[in-house]
């Protein structure tokens, strides 16, 4: 049995969590020794009582490791542990890092440059569009967007990052084969193609009231900061913000109307010292990332040190983006006029205009009109 396989087995033992597992690893040094230990030795570890010791000692009667390994392989996922080179560096520094991470997709060293984005599930149009735009800009600047794949702000954040062809990481509150919410399966598939969907839970663990807040410590601790876009006073996003503060991360918040309950939480965060955000530049400036217009990533290390700007190549345009930017050469046009000029459907035009706006190639004007910058 390999270290990873032993960690998978331990992670499936009833009552086992990352705090207990880390305490056991500090005592026994390897996961294989934990599985082979006697009840008395297991009970001697702080935080491990009789029930947990019995569960570990008889692990092979409650854990079907062979079946779990098959489920992982059939799903196309892999498992990394806290000792793996692929393990996110920032997560090692949080209070209770997950020992095991199931990964659908691929993790990259550059994912260390990340921003968590969270907010309410019940959102307004303002919150959805703001989350998409800010996530687009942050991802376009070279940062990975980390969120929880939940309805509302999480979904918008992932969509914004994907629209920018950037990296995004979805952290689940369930096992990979019990993905929640189920309507986000197609979104998860897109994320796995160019980023990763991750979970600390066994493949068939369903989501519940405990798994969601617990997974939020990963969202809070993965990146260099956490952005709260829209949240009420009772939103779980505020708990995530508190976790980010405890983990030494910078918290950013988008202000909202003072008479809207959906903005009460973010406004309170700003009162308490969160960085007020009106554009992605507020976040990138705080993190020391200067973005020349039209670039797709942060300045090089040399340029950041000297203050000189890297050359700013023109952003690559899709076929639809090229059609729209060409049509706007004649001047300001409405969406309907753009549809007539390009023969693109209205639904496709809306998303393409957002992409061009985020690339700072066009600007929105009153009356649903658009013009080139």
- pLDDT per residue as tens digits for the range 211-230: 887 889 999 999 999 999 99
* Residue 131 and residue 234 in one domain: yes
Residue 250 within any structural domain of the chain: yes
Q: Which of 264, 286, 308 is the last residue in one of the domains?
A: 286
Strand stretches in the chain, DSSP E:
78-81, 100-105, 114-118, 144-147, 168-171, 196-199, 225-228, 250-253, 275-276, 333-334, 362-365, 369-372
* Residue 200 and residue 277 in one domain: yes
Residues in the chain: 373
Beta bridge partners of 171: 198
* Residue 196 and residue 267 in one domain: yes
Minimum mean pLDDT range among 44-53, 147-156, 166-175, 225-234: 44-53
Residue 123 structure tokens: 């959102």
Q: At what angle do helices 335-342 and 346-358 cross, to 10 degrees?
A: 110
Give the C-alpha separation, 226 to 250, whole Å.
Answer: 6
Report residue 156: phi and psi, to 5°. Answer: -60, -40
CATH number at residue 121: 3.40.50.450
Q: Which of 233, 262, 286 is the last residue in one of the domains?
A: 286
* Residue 146 and residue 210 in one domain: yes
Residue 272 within any structural domain of the chain: yes
Residue 74 within any structural domain of the chain: no
Pairing of strands 225-228, 250-253: parallel
Beta bridge partners of 227: 117, 252
Residue 196, pLDDT > 70, answer yes
pTM of the shown model: 0.76
* pLDDT tens for each residue of 278-312: 999 899 888 875 443 343 333 333 333 333 334 34
Domain limits for position 166? 104-286
Residues 6+ apart with CB under 8 A from 60: none
CATH number at residue 329: 1.10.10.10
Residue 337 within any structural domain of the chain: yes
* Residue 339 and residue 268 in one domain: no
Residue 353 within any structural domain of the chain: yes
Per the CB < 8 A criterion, the answer to whether 237 and 147 are in contact is no
Closest by alpha carbon to 102, among 135, 138, 73? 73
CATH number at residue 43: 1.10.150.20
* pLDDT tens for each residue of 270-280: 998 899 999 99
Identify the DSSP state of 93: G
The pLDDT of residue 315 is: 60
* Residue 150 and residue 204 in one domain: yes
* Residue 175 and residue 240 in one domain: yes
The pLDDT of residue 15 is: 79
Per the CB < 8 A criterion, the answer to whether 73 and 64 are in contact is no
Tally of domains in the chain: 3
Phi-psi region of 90 (alpha: psi -120 to 50; beta: other; left: phi over 0): alpha
Give the C-alpha separation, 214 to 225, whole Å.
Answer: 18
Residue 72 within any structural domain of the chain: no
* Residue 262 and residue 133 in one domain: yes
* Residue 324 and residue 276 in one domain: no
Pairing of strands 168-171, 78-81: unpaired
């Amino acid at each position: 049995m390999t270290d990873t396989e032993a960690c998978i087995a331990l992670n499936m033992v009833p009552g086992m969590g990352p705090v207990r597992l880390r305490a056991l690893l500090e005592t026994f040094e390897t996961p294989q020794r934990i599985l082979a230990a006697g009840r008395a030795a297991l009970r001697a570890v702080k935080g491990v009582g009789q029930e947990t010791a019995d569960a570990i000692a008889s692990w092979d009667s409650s854990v079907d490791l062979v079946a779990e390994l098959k489920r992982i392989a059939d799903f196309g996922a892999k498992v990394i542990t806290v000792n793996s080179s692929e393990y996110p560096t920032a997560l090692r520094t949080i209070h209770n890092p997950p020992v095991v991470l199931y990964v659908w997709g691929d993790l990259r060293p550059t994912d260390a440059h990340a921003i968590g984005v969270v907010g309410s599930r019940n959102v307004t149009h303002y919150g959805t569009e703001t989350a998409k735009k800010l996530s687009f800009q942050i991802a376009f600047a070279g940062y990975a967007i980390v969120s929880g794949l939940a309805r509302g702000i999480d979904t918008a954040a992932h969509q914004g990052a994907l629209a920018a062809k950037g990296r995004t990481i979805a952290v689940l509150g369930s096992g990979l084969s019990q993905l929640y919410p189920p309507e986000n399966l197609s979104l998860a598939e897109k994320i796995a193609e160019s980023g990763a969907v991750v979970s600390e839970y066994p493949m068939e663990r369903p989501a519940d009231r405990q798994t969601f807040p617990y997974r939020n410590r990963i969202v809070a601790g993965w990146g260099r900061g956490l952005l709260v876009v829209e949240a009420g006073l009772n939103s779980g996003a505020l708990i995530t913000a508190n976790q980010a503060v405890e983990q030494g991360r910078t918290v950013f918040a988008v202000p909202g109307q003072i008479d809207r309950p959906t903005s009460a939480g973010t406004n309170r965060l700003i009162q308490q010292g969160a960085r007020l955000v009106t554009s992605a530049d507020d976040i990138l400036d705080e993190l020391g990332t200067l973005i020349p217009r039209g670039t797709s990533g942060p300045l090089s290390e040399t340029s950041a040190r000297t203050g000189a700007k890297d050359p700013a190549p023109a952003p690559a345009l899709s076929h639809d983006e090229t059609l729209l930017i060409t049509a706007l050469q004649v001047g300001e046009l409405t969406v309907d006029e753009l549809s007539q000029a390009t023969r693109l459907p209205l639904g496709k035009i809306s998303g393409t205009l957002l992409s061009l706006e985020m690339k700072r190639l066009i600007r929105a004007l009153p009356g649903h009109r658009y013009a080139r910058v």
